Structure 1
Amino acid sequence: MEDTMPTRDGRRRQLARIALVLAAAVVALVNVAPVLWGVTTSLRPPEEIFTFPPSFLVSDLTGEHYSQVLNGSFARNITNSLLYSTTATVVAVLLGAIAAYAFDRFRFPLRRSLFGVIVACIPLSMGAAVLVIPNYLYFAALGLLDTPVILPLLYLGYNLPMAVWILKGAMEGIPTELDEAAKIDGASRLRTFAAVILPLCRPSLAAASIFVFIGAWNEFVAGSVMVNTSDYRPVQVAVYQFISAFGRQWGPLTASAVLALLPILVLVVFFGRYLVAGLMRGAVKG
């Protein structure tokens, strides 16, 4: 009887692993299949897009859809989103690091309440569509609608709470003795922050940067409402332009979607390892 119990437990663990692998495979298939289908569709000649039965295989590769997309204003729209997202990322991480350091190292009235407000703003920023009307009225009063500065400002406001939360969790894991040692060596608060604290927060800085960039890059609602001029249009709104009242241009639509996806894929492939490390630091403390 004692010999059979470990065997049963081992079989149960093995079955659990198999079930977990199968579930992960199903989830991966559900998420990857539409992307693969979009890539293959973007490479098909127009006459093969609606062939039946459908197939992932492409008999005759073509780049005409990409040429059509890039010959228009789409390249400028990608450049716009790169500028908007990069600006919002740099400013959000910088301000987020300063705010996180202040919340973690200084004691001032309503410190916990203010940080609670910031944390509460994280889900609100993820559902930023509810903020479109008040933001529209506010920026209309300022005369900033349909200008190149409005979207970076909105992206900064939407994603700054996440950056503060991640970076504060990282700074809570840094002993205050390091600040005291730097002070004894004659370092000012600013020098301690720049030369001691920030280098120790590199994984969390990278994680915050990735989250802010992805959040800014993928934003659609504000970009479609606040900007009307094609010269200032972000990439996600430009992708939607290939869906019109006369139907969907599936070739250019999938080609533009693939081009819009590439920066995110590159970012995750090369810097995705920082996401887990940065988020774990922000989730354990915070």
Structure 2
Amino acid sequence: MRSTKTVNRRNLTRWNGILIGGFFTFLIILNTAPLLWGTLTSLKSEADLFRFPPTLFNFTPTMENYQRVFDSGFSYSLAISLIYSAITVVMVLLLGVPAAYAFDRFNFPGRRPLFLLVVASIPLSLGAAALLIPNYIYFLRLGLTNQYFTLPLIYTAHQLPMAIWIIKGTIEGIPRELDEAAVADGAGHFMILRMIILPLILPALGAAGVMAFVGSWNEFVASTVMVDAPELRPVQPAIYNFIGYFGREWGPLSAAAIMGVVPILIVFMLLGRLIVSGLTKGSVKG
């Protein structure tokens, strides 16, 4: 009887593994298929693009679409987006670390409602289309539109709540006894934050930085409305420019989209593990 139950349990485990593997394989195919199709489309000539029935691999690759994209000044928009995203990451971490430390280690009036407000503002990291009109009016009256700092300022405000939440979750897992021991040795709060807290929350800093970079890089609505000068235009509106008045230029549009995705893929390849470790490190307190 025991052997039968053991065999059944092993078979059930095997089938569960097969189902889970099949499910994740399906998800991988579902997510990589558009990227593959866009890459192939970007390498097709105009004649191959409108061939019917469409071909997947039976065509002569060309770099003509990428050349057109580079000639349009798209590389400048890529550089601008990199600068905007880098500034956003630096500002988010500079503001998020002390804020998260204060929320976790200090008791002050309104601490809980204020943190609930921060948590409620996390959806801003996904975009703030509902706040676009009031933000535009405020920025316009203050003369802050079409400035080099306009988009980094908005991106920082959007990404800061998520960063505070991530970093605070990790600080919660650091024993307060370490703070008390440092205070006994004469250390102040700044010294505790710099010498004790920061080395222990590096995964959370990486996760918050990656999330801020991706969020600011992919932002479209605010970057379309808040700036209209070509020298301030980031990558997402630049991609949209290839959707012309008389129709979509599928070749250049696909090439620009692929070039806009490459930095995100590089960031996730190099720092993707930090997202998992940074989000889970504070889930179990020490």
Does the CA-based 8 Å contact 2:124-2:159 persist in structure 1?
no
Does the CA-based 8 Å contact 1:207-1:279 persist in structure 2?
yes
Does the CA-based 8 Å contact 1:73-1:230 persist in structure 2?
no
Rounded to whole Å, the distance in 2 between the matches of 1:201 and 1:111 is 22
Q: After superposition, where does 1:15-164 map in structure 2 within 5 Å? A: 15-57=15-57, 59-164=59-164
Q: Secondary structure at the match of 1:275?
A: helix
Rounded to whole Å, the distance in 2 between the matches of 1:5 and 1:50 is 59
List alignment gaps of at least 5 residues for structure 2: none
1:281 Cα deviation from its structure 2 partner: 2.8
The range that moved more, 44-53 or 84-93, is 44-53
For 1:88-146, what per-residue CA distance to the aligned partner results, in whole angstroms no more than 9, with x for missing partners?
11101111001000111111111111111101111244241111011111101111112
> Amino acid of the residue matched to residue 73 of structure 2?
S
1:6 maps to what in 2?
Answer: 6
> Amino acid of the residue matched to residue 253 of structure 2?
L
> Amino acid of the residue matched to residue 68 of structure 1?
R
2:277 maps to what in 1?
Answer: 277
Does the CA-based 8 Å contact 1:93-1:208 persist in structure 2?
yes
For 1:160-203, what per-residue CA distance to the aligned partner results, in whole angstroms no more than 9, with x for missing partners?
00000000011111111222222233332212211211111000
Rounded to whole Å, the distance in 2 between the matches of 1:201 and 1:212 is 16
Q: Aligned in 2, Cα 1:58/1:267: closer, same or farther, shift over 3 Å?
A: farther
Q: Secondary structure at the match of 1:272?
A: helix
For 1:187-225, what per-residue CA distance to the aligned partner results, in whole angstroms no more than 9, with x for missing partners?
322122112111110000000000000000000011111
Aligned length: 285
The CA RMSD measured in Å over matched residues stands at: 1.5
Q: Aligned in 2, Cα 1:185/1:58: closer, same or farther, shift over 3 Å?
A: farther
> Amino acid of the residue matched to residue 141 of structure 1?
R
Rounded to whole Å, the distance in 2 between the matches of 1:282 and 1:46 is 52
Task: State the identity as a percent.
Answer: 47
> Amino acid of the residue matched to residue 238 of structure 2?
A
2:267 maps to what in 1?
Answer: 267
List alignment gaps of at least 5 residues for structure 1: none
TM-score (norm 1): 0.95
The range that moved more, 17-26 or 46-55, is 46-55
Does the CA-based 8 Å contact 1:40-1:56 persist in structure 2?
yes
Rounded to whole Å, the distance in 2 between the matches of 1:159 and 1:282 is 20
> Amino acid of the residue matched to residue 232 of structure 1?
L
Does the CA-based 8 Å contact 1:45-1:61 persist in structure 2?
yes
> Amino acid of the residue matched to residue 101 of structure 2?
Y
The range that moved more, 176-185 or 18-27, is 176-185
Q: Secondary structure at the match of 1:140?
A: helix
Runs of 4+ residues over 6 Å off in structure 1? none
Does the CA-based 8 Å contact 1:43-1:58 persist in structure 2?
no
> Amino acid of the residue matched to residue 68 of structure 2?
Q
> Amino acid of the residue matched to residue 118 of structure 1?
V
> Amino acid of the residue matched to residue 155 of structure 1?
Y
Q: Secondary structure at the match of 2:61?
A: coil
1:282 Cα deviation from its structure 2 partner: 4.8
Rounded to whole Å, the distance in 2 between the matches of 1:142 and 1:224 is 19
1:200 maps to what in 2?
Answer: 200
Q: Does 2:214 correspond to 1:209?
A: no
> Amino acid of the residue matched to residue 69 of structure 1?
V
